[in-house]
Amino acid sequence: MAFSRRMMILGLAGTATAGAGSAPLFMSVDELKQKLRPTGDGRRGVPLASATADDWSLQKGSFFTVDSGEVLELVDVRRFPEHPGRPQNLRPSAFVTTFEVKRGEPLAAARIYRMNHREGGDFDLLLTHSAPEWPRRMIAVLN
């Protein structure tokens, strides 16, 4: 039997019909929002200078401009283990952010940089190298 465009279309239609039987054709608005929501319970558009780990996590993959012109991408956000005696004037939990220098020269370690983010605004952040062998990878601990 020769392969034709008609056979391919019929095969695809059959596959789609079989697959549709196992998945709902319609979902509620809340279900759709949950599926489209990035992981975490963070908020968008909040000042990152005082934002939580969840807020920062929503920004993974976004870009930050340093006052000296370099562009950094936020590649990871990791929480530290919870501590029961945490002071009230700090964030709910401490976390570490990891950035990758995407444009420009590697940054000097252990220096406060003025950062700008399109959603999170301007703020100062102490950045240091994550490891000597990765000079383009920077980390910041946020309390």
Please tell me the pTM assigned to this model.
0.69
pLDDT at residue 15 in the model: 44
Indicate the burial class of 125 (C-beta count within 10 angstroms; 0-12, 13-18, 19 or more): buried
pLDDT at residue 35 in the model: 46
**Cα gap 81→136, rounded to integer Å:** 27
Q: Over its length of 143 residues, how does the chain's per-residue pLDDT go in tens digits?
A: 455 555 545 454 444 444 444 445 565 665 544 444 445 578 888 999 999 999 999 999 999 999 999 999 999 999 988 777 777 777 778 899 999 999 999 999 999 999 999 999 999 999 999 998 999 999 999 98
**Cα gap 27→25, rounded to integer Å:** 7
